[in-house]
Structure 1
Amino acid sequence: MSAALPPSVGPTGLTARALLLGRNLDLKRLDAFDSLATNPLLVQVSGGGRAVLLRSGAVVLFDVDPQAEVAFLAYLRPFVREPLDSPELEQLSISIDPGRTEGLEHDRLVMTDTDTARLQVIADILGKSVLLAHQESRVALAFDRIEPLADQLRRFGRGAGNARILIRHIGESLAIQQEMVGRGEVGDKPEIIWERPDLERLFLNLEAEYEIRERQLALERKLSLINDTANTLLNLLQSKRSLRVEWYIVILIVVEIVLTLYELFIVDHPAP
C-alpha cells in the first residue's frame, strides 16, 4: 500500500490512518508525550488529533491534519528501527452517531462516541492490518527466492550449494513470525478488552472485516512451507558434505595402507 489522500473530517466523523513506519517503535524512549491511555499508548498530537503508538512500528492517527501528521511522523522517525522507504497504509472512515448501533456499514465504521478505549481497539486492528500487509509482501519475496531452489531439486535431484543462503531463508521466516507474534501480537486480544468487555463486539467485527486471523493463518502456512523447504535442502547439502568427508577419510586410509605396505615389502625387503 502507498500514500493516500489526506484525512477528511466532517461534522460527525473522522478518519483513522494507520501507517507502519518500520520494524518496531521504541516506546520506552518516547517521554515527551503525556499519555491519554496506555496498552496501547494513546497520545495527543500537537496541532490537534490523537495518535496510538504500537511496538510493532505502526502509528494510528485520528483526526490529524496533514501538516500536523508530517511534523508528528518526523518527530517519531529517530525512534523507529529499520524505517520503511514506503510506509504501509490503512485508512478507515468513522461516523459518530450516538443514536445508532455500532458497526461497519459500507466500508465506514459507525460509533456512538470517540472515547479512548474505542480508539485503542480500532488502532489495534488497523496496526495489525498494516503489519500483516508488510509481512505478506516479505513472504511473497521469500517465495520467489526459494521457488527456484525447490525446482532445481525437482528437476536435477540436487538443491542449493550454499548453506548460508538456506540459513538466511530460515532466519527470514523466523524473524517474520517473531514480529507478528512478539511485537505485533497478531491473534491476541488487546488488553483494553479485558477492562472493557463491552467493546469485544467492536473488536470482533473489525477483526473479521480486515480478516486478521485468516491472513495470519495463511502467512503461517506459507512460512512453514518456506521453513520446510529450506530445512530439507540444508539437510541434503549437509548429507552430501558428510558423504564427501567420509570418502576423503576412506581415500586417506587407503593411501596410508598403500604407504605401509610399500615400506614393509619394498623398503624393508629390497629385491636381491
Structure 2
Amino acid sequence: MNQASKSPLGGDRTTARAFFVSDRLNTSGLERGDVLATTPLAFRVNANGTAILFRYGVVVLIGLNALEEEEFLGSLQSRLTRPFARRDEEIATIELAPDREEQIPPGGPICLQSLAPERLILIGEALAKSVVLARHEREVASVFDMTEPFARELAQSGRMRGGRGAILKQIGNALSVRHRVSGPVEVSEKPDILWDKPQLERLYARLEDEYELKERAESLNRKLAVIAETAQVLTDIIDTRRSLRLELIIVFLILFEVLITVYQLAISRHG
C-alpha cells in the first residue's frame, strides 16, 4: 500500500460526513502548507483526517471522530455567515479496496482503489451537494405545506381567505426559499478537479447516481417553478383585491356626488 493510499486515513474503512452549517463560509486565509486543493479548499486535519470546505456553507470531514469534528466546526464559527440553528448532515462510509473496481454497492460503502486526495475531494463534492439538496428539499416542502390550504380553498370556493398581510407572508416565504435554493450551488456542474483528472469521471458518475443528484436537482427545479407560479398567483390576488376596492370607492364617490347634485337641484327648485 503506497503513501497516497494510506493517507489521510488510518484504516481500511473510515467515515466521511458533510455538514451544512451556514449560508456562506469564508475560506480566505485558511490556506496552509499542507493544502490538497484550493477549489474547493481541502487540507489535512490532525494525523489522519481531511477537511474539505465549500464557500456555500458546507464542511466535509473525513477520518475524524465525533470530538474532532465538533472541535473543527467550532473553530470555523467566526467565518460563518448566517449560521443555521439546525445543521443538516450527510454521512458515507469509505472502504479501501485496491484489488476491486471502484464502485458503490447498494447499501454498502464507497469502494476506492486508493485514498488519494482527488478521490476524497470527489466524495466531498457529492456529499456536499447531497446535503444542500436535502435542506432545500425540506424548505421547499414546508412552503408547499403553507400554500396548500390557499390552493385548496381556491379550488373549492373560488375565493381565498386571509388578509393582505397573510398573503404577503406566503409570497415572502416562497420567494425566500426560491432565492436560497437558486444560489451558488450548481449541482449539474462538473467538479473542477475532473478537468485535471478526467480518469475519475466514472467514479464521480457513480457518486452522482448513488445520491441521485441530477434527478433531485431537476425535481427541485420543477417545484421551484411551481413556487414562482404560486407567488405570482398570490400577487395577482392582492392586485385584484386592491383594484376591486378602488373600483368600489370610485363607485361610492360617484354615487355620493350624484346624491349631492340631486339634493342641490331639489333645494334650488324649492327655493
User: In which range does the TM-score fall when normalised by the shorter chain?
Assistant: 0.7 to 0.9
Instruction: Provide the C-alpha distance between the structure 2 equivalents of 1:142 and 1:224, rounded to a whole number of angstroms.
Output: 13
Tell me the alpha carbon deviations over residues 109-132 of structure 1, each in whole angstroms, 9 at most, x when there is no partner: 111222222222111110011111
Instruction: Please identify, of 100-109 and 200-209, the stretch whose mean Cα deviation from structure 2 is larger.
Output: 100-109
Q: Which moved more, 1:97-106 or 1:108-117?
A: 97-106
Partner of 1:203: 204
Gap change, CA 1:185 and 1:178, over 3 Å in 2: farther
Cα offset, 1:57, TM superposition: 1.4
Aligned position for 1:84:
84
CA distance in 1, matches of 2:17, 2:137: 20
Structure 1 segment 163-242 matched on structure 2, within 5 A:
163-242=164-243
Matched-pair contact (CA < 8 Å) for 1:160–1:233 = no
Give the letter aligned to residue 226 of structure 2. Answer: L
Is there any run of 5+ residues in structure 1 with no aligned partner, and where?
Answer: 1-8
2:102 aligns to what? 102
Asked if 1:144 corresponds to 2:145, the answer is yes
Q: Distance in 2 between matches of 1:47 and 1:266?
A: 101
Q: 1:215 to 1:169 in 2, by over 3 A?
A: farther
Contact 2:22 2:58 in 1 (8 A): yes
- Distance change (3 Å), C-alpha of 1:143 and 1:154: same
Superposed counterparts of 1:1-272, under 5 Å: 11-28=11-28, 31-34=29-32, 35-46=35-46, 48-106=48-106, 107-263=108-264, 265-267=265-267, 269-271=268-270
Q: 1:103 offset after TM fit, Å?
A: 1.5
**Worse-superposed segment, 98-107 or 115-124:** 98-107
* RMSD of aligned residue pairs (Cα, Å): 2.2
CA shift for structure 1 position 145: 0.8
Cα distance in 2 for partners of 1:175, 1:53 equals 25
Counterpart residue type for residue 59 of structure 1:
V
Structure 2 Cα separation of the partners of residues 65 and 224 of structure 1: 41
Deviates further, 151-160 or 131-140: 151-160
Residue identity in the other structure for 2:23: R
Contact persistence 1:22–1:57 (CA under 8 A): yes
CA contact (8 A) 2:21 2:83 kept: yes
Consecutive aligned runs of 4 or more in structure 1 exceeding 6 Å deviation: none
Q: Report the TM-score when normalising by structure 1.
A: 0.86
CA gap of 1:178–1:195, structure 2 versus 1, over 3 A, is farther
* More divergent stretch after superposition (199-208 vs 101-110): 101-110
Change (3 A) 1:209 1:227: same
Provide the rounded CA distance (Å) in 2 between the counterparts of 1:180 and 1:193: 25
Helix, strand or coil: the match of 2:100?
A: coil
Identical counterparts, % of pairs? 36
For 2:210, give the aligned amino acid: E
The 1:208/1:128 distance shift into structure 2, 3 A limit, reads same
2:175 and 2:231 in contact (8 A); partners too:
no
